[in-house]
Structure 1
């Protein structure tokens, strides 16, 4: 296990997630603040939608396997909790993301569009899990969520032979499950392919792609903490087999 930028990194042997009932006391106790925060956010970005998302209420690692319990809640609640600095430490923003790497070892990140809740931030294509990631009655498909978000935002399919190896970056109210994947072309060619797809979208979530070999290529003001931690602790060239 390694630590940097307020995050700790662990390499995982496996990942399991399930949906459980959870009475989120913090959200009930802060209903007025949540409503005020949503009104402020919507005034700035009217396209925001209070859909359903999944947050983590419990997690543990045993023998390299991370087990995560999720519950369903509203996006406005999640956003208020995040904007407040994740005051309820029993609840985390848990999400999975593909880390796309070119054959030259550089990683590709997306810059969020101005109409999104994270406008201008630069990170790997990903999203908070939602009910579409539930399989059967209670399984949460984090691997499928990562692949879906990646495909929706880049138009690129994962190589069939890519190993499914996960890294967990935990810190700052987040559980970032990252799967580094190396593609056969160099990063510039891969980014060009992603950009060509982005330009076909009527309302793309991303406004551009960024190639980086380290945190110094991004600029700290637009870089979430888990991205800085990734480049410090598991640089793409070293994290991909």
Structure 2
């Protein structure tokens, strides 16, 4: 797989919430606090809430099974900042990949107040307590929720259910490609209407991609580039 990510096709993704004694926050307490102060100085709207990271995962018979545990967002941001901090801990998240009826992939441009301002992403987010159902974590629901919150889009009734797992850069990106029954221009207009109703925009706007030539190494994270390179090398 290009971009250093390994690709695996899946029929399903399941996750459970577990207790995990992670030494990283204790060992790096002072550095985490200093790093967080620098981050919120640049982006005052950031919130130090609870996020869920992956401490173990398996793939068997087309099903990925994850163990997720809770930590602070400030710890997570510093963990991402430190190269090769702990190979066991992964940032695992799910995202809908919106395909349009006329063959474009839609990506959102992150708003100026966000942690990744200006970057081009599929609508997604690190799982959090809103995704917990008992001792399970609903990654399918997380992906649909992030899509609806950021774009206003609701999945078609007959949406595809298969997943693609991209593994690399201490990430497990679970992507669910879904084709919407409208052309790109119409979907972008609907999203623009949604964004005009938002008081604090997660997204500044949308970008469409139709070929590998439109992959932007400066603004697209590795898992996005890897997915686009893979699908467009196969003809979409």
- TM-score class, shorter: over 0.9
Q: Distance in 1 between matches of 2:234 and 2:106?
A: 12
Match of 1:7 among 2, 5, 9: 5
Gaps of 5+ in 2: none
Q: Distance in 2 between matches of 1:167 and 1:127?
A: 16
Match of 2:147 among 141, 146, 150: 150
Residue 86 of structure 1, CA deviation: 4.7
Instruction: Note the aligned Cα RMSD (angstroms).
Output: 1.4
Secondary structure in 1 matching 2:109: strand
Using the TM superposition, name which of 214-223 and 20-29 deviates more.
214-223
Secondary structure in 2 matching 1:85: coil
The count of corresponding residues between Structure 1 and Structure 2 is 236
TM-score (normalised: structure 1): 0.94
Q: Distance in 2 between matches of 1:156 and 1:96?
A: 16
TM-score (normalised: structure 2): 0.96
Q: Is 1:75 the equivalent of 2:101? A: no
Residue 107 of structure 1, CA deviation: 0.5
CA contact (8 A) 1:180 1:236 kept: no
Q: Distance in 2 between matches of 1:151 and 1:69?
A: 25
Deviations 1:109-143 (A, max 9, x none): 0000010011111010111100010002x100000
Q: Is 1:220 the equivalent of 2:231? A: no
Residue 215 of structure 1, CA deviation: 4.5
CA contact (8 A) 2:215 2:225 kept: no
Q: Distance in 2 between matches of 1:31 and 1:178?
A: 33
Q: Corresponding residue for 1:90?
A: 88
Deviations 1:159-187 (A, max 9, x none): 01112110000100110000000011111
Q: Distance in 2 between matches of 1:14 and 1:236?
A: 25
CA contact (8 A) 1:111 1:123 kept: yes
Residue 214 of structure 1, CA deviation: 3.4
Secondary structure in 1 matching 2:36: helix
Q: Corresponding residue for 2:112?
A: 114
Residue 189 of structure 1, CA deviation: 1.4
Q: Is 1:187 the equivalent of 2:178? A: no
Q: After TM superposition, which residue ranges in structure 1, 4 or more long, deviate above 6 angstroms? A: none
Q: Corresponding residue for 1:208?
A: 205
CA contact (8 A) 2:215 2:228 kept: no
